[in-house]
Structure 1
């Protein structure tokens, strides 16, 4: 009976994968130029600007330019950059290397090797300093810590790292004010593209949220287990944690004290989550995996997405901002600021600016 069941599951899996691959025949057309439309203003010359953070003066976006992440795509480096919101210019972030103050004692970084940024988070620490945490996939899996310092312009000083290579595949990170963090472990090291395609339907648990403390201890929060944990955000004031499950098609608000879910928002393929202006802003992919496979090697994956403004009490929907994304790659993060909604993408050469006065 067991062999029969395994055979049936195998046949179903192969059928699903074949169906998905057949759906890859309709490729996405390349974008010509860097043109605004009635929906989005766009600013180009980025490489997959997957996540964004706002500097305290409100004048700059910190941009995580995503290279790649094994085993799902080719592993390549990326970089951290800054975008001037006032004059709409981009430049590479200046990174100086300081002492390993905020990382683990056994983690080291060669200054000559580039980073591989993915999810990022910026907080003001209890001591008043500004700490930026960066999930990095290059050359190995790590969390990199920086201090954001205002001189003539904003600069970053490397302050240490946490080596998780061979242990975790993190997607996103969220700091507390003491320098500890929560991160979303997506899947184990033997996870493959076939596993990802199968989980579009099976939605089995592939990972969970992990807490790291400055004594270099990891705590796996098993009660947060789900299908492809993605964006993560700590709600500082009441010790709650938001976790987005990209293949599970839901966002869950957890009470870290009771270890219980206290809110759920169900929506296709949630990516990053930003806490801003007293709300959670979750970006969702409003398209199927079949459609995303059509992106192939296109620089911009022009597929629809939405940014959803949710209550921090229970993740109930407050407003939804929907985008057809005809001049932009599929959104992965939406950051509201001064009546604009700044949007990044894991598959694009541009960031976008939407209008907060326009909602569903």
Structure 2
């Protein structure tokens, strides 16, 4: 349940609403959007109560609150994900991430521009990371991807450099001005990873790790939430709701393919999810065609198709020598293939009325 206050409402008006809620043993939290003050109501009172009684209580509270001064409307949202729903937040959310390589000093995800995030699946060495960072920046990436902590299906797979990997990512950011996105795997690691990263990534295996979602929600860091490999779109948006419910509005969804009966690709890249999510939610959405297909020769086609479908950005794996990669080399682009992708990406973005965010010195480097 949400109460939208008028732009001209006073603090006294807000307190009157909160008093009615308190009288009925309900809690209300304030959310100041760009154009309105919204009170989010905890729909379950402090004492246990049946579903029928909850519905009756909501009717009584609605009747009392809607006539109070300063109240504009009490929208009815039938979807189980309230904060992530476009019914609650009609305007698109734009997530701002600091990026020294841009003219503004930040990059916006969810706006007019398409944002490129590129880099190795896993941080392996300083030389590997810095070589890749320089190459992806030169051709238009503004965010560097790289895993310091990596989940592996097998316990014998490469699991990342940990803290040393985070330090190398921070060095790459300081050297080239790229923002950094890297995965966080446990609630206890959130504060540590936040010291080195600009965006926290929740991987497919952790989409429903609710304690982790709560913790990144409390961090207020930008978060990329990947779709679970077997998750329905509603389950994905409910996972985003966990983060939003903790007060973190900086959530970016990422389509990375789902598990189906098809074996020709590592996953089935569900491009239809992009326009579906755009219709259901105000949150920005990007796509990961590297994880989505598992084969580098498919990454370019699915990247261009993603942008055509409405993706706000791409998360692409690039490696100086994929054949020697410690993890996921088969789906990593070579630097030459990445350069070819970027040359075509600009044209596709223009064809659908968008443009690609570029570093401030992109033209000089590309000349």
Higher strand share: 1
The structure that has the greater radius of gyration is 2
TM-score for the superposition, normalised by structure 2: 0.30
Higher helix share: 2
TM-score for the superposition, normalised by structure 1: 0.31
